[in-house]
A = this chain, B = another copy of it.
């Protein structure tokens, strides 16, 4: 045993863009945004830093490819055979969870090469918008607003989660933040103080879904032809 020549167990597999991006995602997940280094990545792939540049133009492209991988995987789940609104909720939640699990994706959302990934999301949500009965003239506005809300909320949620690392006690964090809010100047921040309690109790995913419902209700109110709903 331990011949070292068996195909499936050889130590050095050929370098490829695919393997590089995969390793990058792992590194980002494990060590965070700052952990992705060409040196660290090269070591993990048992090669030198220069080798990576034969498959990837630069760090920006690498990050963009990693983001695209994560988003593509999140959108790959087959939506259930349910009404369009529910499918939108499903897609939204899938993206939300993906960003939550890979918080470094959030920073990419506000970055350039993102353009590559945008059509993926637009397509996935847009089909449901169409199925919802939104008139064609409103497809772009409606779908874009949904996408903007979903990504914006996911990004801000991930930012909050990133502050204290993955092992932090969530309710403790919320508690600390709520306390900070209640200590704000009563003259300048009456609303924020009044709302600190609700902040402490809230659940991120529930809050997110409420937002999706809100946008959906807005779409219904503004962009769906009025047909007596249910009643006849």
Contacts and interface: CB of A to CB of B under 8 A. Distances in A.
Contact of A141 (B148, B192, B207): B207
Contact of A139 (B111, B126, B191): B191
A230 to B, nearest CB: 16
B222 A214 contact: yes
A41 interface: no
Contacts of A111: 107, 159
Nearest to A137: B198
Interface string A97-134: 00000000011011110110001001100110010000
Contacts of A142: 214
**Complex copy number for this chain:** 2
A199 to B, nearest CB: 6
A149 interface: yes
A31 B65 CA distance: 26
Nearest to A105: B110
B211 A145 contact: yes
Given A139-B194, A192-B126, A163 B221 contact: no
A219 B214 contact: yes
A171 interface: no
Given A122-B195, A192-B123, A218-B217, A144 B110 contact: no
6 contacts: A107-B110, A119-B189, A122-B192, A144-B207, A145-B215, A215-B218
